[in-house]
Amino acid sequence: MPDFEMPESTGALDVPAPPSAAARAPAAEDAFATADAAMRAPAASDAATSAAIVDPTLPPPPASGRERARATMRRLRLPALAFAVGVVVAAAGVVAIDSVRDATARDDVAQTLDAYLATVESGAPASGGLVAALDEAVASTALVAAAVVAAGPAAVDCDEPRLGADVAIVDCSVRVERRSEPARLVLERVGDAWSVTQGLAVPVRLQPGTLLVEEVAGEPVETAITRGERAVWLLPGRYDVAVRSPAQLVVANLDGLVVTASSGSVRWTSDTTPQLDADVEASALAFVRGCAVAPAEGCPALQQRDAADPFQVFAIDGRLRPGDPYALTFEVSIRRPIEQPEEFVVVTVRVDFGEGLDRYEVAAG
């Protein structure tokens, strides 16, 4: 059998003609026998052993179908796996970034909210960002800008903020003395900063009357606010006030200006002086006696009785009337005769103090 020899390499691959089928079988057997002998014989050196085991001049043995399939799957799976891992990492990065942003936003909102509520509960608003968020056209910001201090600050309890893109909404409960009311705070982000754009301050319109508020927490109040012609922004709480009242009224109890989460009013009680009571009674009796002598328009209907039967006042009820804030109106109940009265009439007496509470006019009828 002829030996199968490989030509020397000349730089170009010289492939001999394939042997016949009859020649391929013995050649393969000789090759395997030679390789087996080489593996069993003592190696002269590592290089000789490597040359005997793997002959670089021989083509690699053909891979099986399973090995080829595995190699193909490895080649296909590696890029796919790399892509899948990349997508997961990218998604995890987006979630992580969003979580960090949400956490940062919540921290920023919480810090702004805490500072604002600390201001409210201390009773002394910081005039900086708070005034900017209030509408001067709705009410005067004079008292907030002056940082007036509430004698009885409000207590505020808030839920967790609800965050949007650049807006946070906070629902709260505001307690002033023994009254609690709901309120809502709104914060907005401009750039990297959050600020309160809808706070707890409310526009308070003072009700003018026989008691005029001249100062709130030591700060003078302009005439338009005193007379109820303009409202003023105030945070919830109870404020000490300085007031003015007519000389004929005695202020018995002054609780101050109480501002809730929705409105505000001055709480006070008063009593009339003995001189005013006497003047009201005298005016009512003079009026009804005149009507008994000479009936005129506006007089009550009176019985024709003996002129010796006198009139007597037995009740006086005074009150403020809407649309007539600077006056007191008294309903004076009168009876006749005194011993066994058969006739009752009611006479109206108005006491006018004027807008400046510096006038005193008593008129019946």
The set of residues, in sequence order, having a beta carbon less than 8 Å from that of 313 and lying 6+ positions away, is 281, 284, 285, 332, 333, 334
Q: Give me the mean pLDDT over the 263-281 stretch.
A: 95
Q: Distance of CA 189 to CAs 96, 195, 286, Å?
A: 21, 6, 71
Decide: 208 and 226 in contact? Cβ < 8 Å: yes
Give this prediction's pTM. Answer: 0.67
Model pLDDT, residue 359: 95
Q: What percent of the chain has pLDDT over 90?
A: 56
Over 70: is that where the pLDDT of 272 sits?
Answer: yes
Model pLDDT, residue 256: 95
Over 90: is that where the pLDDT of 228 sits?
Answer: yes
Alpha helix stretches (DSSP H) within 182-273: 223-226
At residue 127 the predicted structure's pLDDT band, cuts being 50, 70 and 90, is low
Over 80: is that where the pLDDT of 203 sits?
Answer: yes
At residue 53 the predicted structure's pLDDT band, cuts being 50, 70 and 90, is very low
Model pLDDT, residue 292: 92
Model pLDDT, residue 160: 93
At residue 307 the predicted structure's pLDDT band, cuts being 50, 70 and 90, is confident
Model pLDDT, residue 101: 53
Q: Using alpha carbons only, what angle is made at residue 227 by residues 199 and 330, rounded to the nearest 5 degrees?
A: 125
Model pLDDT, residue 322: 87
Euclidean distance between CA atoms 144 and 232, whole angstroms = 9
- Neighbouring CB atoms inside 10 A of 37's CB total 10
Model pLDDT, residue 338: 87
Over 90: is that where the pLDDT of 211 sits?
Answer: yes
Query: Would you list the DSSP string of 199-222?
Result: -S-EEE----SSSEEEEETTEE--
Euclidean distance between CA atoms 112 and 195, whole angstroms = 7
Q: Could you tell me which of 229, 223, 234 has the C-alpha nearest to residue 265?
A: 234
Average per-residue pLDDT for the chain: 78
Decide: 198 and 186 in contact? Cβ < 8 Å: yes
